Amino acid sequence: MINRTIEVGTGVHVKVPATTANLGPGFDTLGLALAYYDELDVTVREEPGVHVDVHGVGEGQVPTDERNLVVRAIKHAFDAYGIEMPGLDIVARNHIPHGRGMGSSGAAIVAGIMAAKGLLEGNVEMDAQAVLTLATQMEGHPDNVAPAIFGGLTIAWVTPEGPRSKKLIVHRGVSPVVFVPEHTMSTALARSLQPESVPHEDAIFNVSRSALLVAALIQSPELLLEATEDKLHQSYRASAMPETDQLIRALRDAGYAAVVSGAGPSILLLCDEPQQRLEATALVEREALTPWQSLMLAVDFKGATVVPHPVGVLA
Ligand code: HSE
């Protein structure tokens, strides 16, 4: 481990978008970045160790020591380059809800790795592919971290050499809405409900729909309802999130392209006209048994950013 001195007071500001993964048929593959952000300020300090302040989502709940996910991600990146992590003051300003299927863990991981990239600027060359590799090592699958890093719509896949991703620009007629309940869902639990193998015809069904979904999102939004059909994951997980399942059925019966957002329990709606967002929100308000928040969000086209703090400004 190299003990490289990064000047005390060196600091970076990081901004990372929320993401929604799967998009129906594209399990562990497709993801979309949403204009809803977590922000992070990280500053090198004299003393070793970390001091973490969390504001907003997770305040008073997430660990503020070395177990903190952002801290673990910063350390993971420093370790990967064999450089000792310096003492750090960290301020997190979180908006992305936790445990709802909006990529909060992926955002925390990407935020930490981007902060390390900014702090190591001039010492190591960490390109976007390296950020994707490090983030996927921590997250386990690339479909949230890819859009968090690159923005837009991403197709992610895994090769023997590591994860890869292709960014596409979403058609401007596509308007996402995320319906967010008060209850949470564990991704590990959701994944445990899926079978080891699926019928061949279900696999073919999803191959056709996910290919179609890419065309619908970049070129032909009028195909979104058919293109968001899925047989690989949502039905297996439905028993763990019955209200999500019931609302998705009601929305799809009414003609809206509704799917589980990531591992749930939030619902992603991909509208091909902005007006649909209000009509669908009214439907959810009528049908829901518990309170659901409606977030009408733009697609984020930029992905995660890191900029140095202006000289002399500490977090
Ligand atoms: N593809 C992942 C899943 C996204 O559905 O399990 C959530 O992390």
Write the pLDDT tens digit of every residue in 62-78: 999 999 999 999 999 99
Q: Ligand 1: does its nearest atom lie under 6 Å from the Cβ of 165?
A: no
pLDDT reading at 1 higher than 90: no
Distance 306 CA to ligand 1 centre (A): 26
Helices (H), the chain: 69-80, 104-119, 128-139, 145-150, 187-192, 200-218, 224-227, 234-237, 242-253, 275-287
Q: Ligand 1: does its nearest atom lie under 6 Å from the Cβ of 144?
A: yes
The end-to-end CA distance of the chain, in Å, is 27
Q: Whose Cα sits closest to atom 5 in ligand 1?
A: 263
Mean pLDDT to the nearest integer, 219-247? 97
Q: Which atom of ligand 1 is nearest to the CA of 140?
A: 8
**Which candidate, 270, 259, 271, 269, places its Cα nearest to that of 232?**
259
pLDDT reading at 146 higher than 70: yes
Instruction: Kindly report the number of other CB atoms within 10 A of residue 291's CB atom.
Output: 9
Give the tens place of pLDDT for each residue, 286-303.
999 999 999 999 999 999
Which residue segments constitute the domains of the chain, with CATH numbers given? 11-168+300-309 (3.30.230.10), 175-296 (3.30.70.890)
Contacts within 8 Å (CB) and 24+ apart, 63-68: none
Mean pLDDT to the nearest integer, 33-58? 97
Question: Tokens 């620009």 belong to which residue?
Answer: 169
Give the tens place of pLDDT for each residue, 23-44.
999 999 999 999 999 999 999 9
Judged by phi (left if over 0) then psi (alpha if -120 to 50, else beta), residue 213 lies in alpha
Share of the chain above pLDDT 70, in %: 97
Instruction: Kindly report the number of other CB atoms within 10 A of residue 9's CB atom.
Output: 14
Q: Ligand 1: does its nearest atom lie under 6 Å from the Cβ of 143?
A: yes
Query: What is the pLDDT, as a whole number, of residue 311?
Result: 54
Distance 140 CA to ligand 1 centre (A): 10
Q: Which atom of ligand 1 is nearest to the CA of 190?
A: 6
Give the tens place of pLDDT for each residue, 176-230.
999 999 999 999 999 999 999 999 999 999 999 999 999 999 999 999 999 999 9
Indicate the pairing of strand 50-56 with strand 88-94: parallel
Mean pLDDT to the nearest integer, 123-148? 96
Identify whether the C-beta of residue 171 lies closer than 8 Å to the C-beta of residue 215: no
Query: What is the pLDDT, as a whole number, of residue 310?
Result: 72
pLDDT reading at 2 higher than 70: no
Query: What is the pLDDT, as a whole number, of residue 5?
Result: 77
pLDDT interval class at 58 (50, 70, 90): very high
pLDDT reading at 8 higher than 70: yes
pLDDT reading at 315 higher than 50: no
Distance 263 CA to ligand 1 centre (A): 5
Query: What is the pLDDT, as a whole number, of residue 302?
Result: 97
Distance 241 CA to ligand 1 centre (A): 14
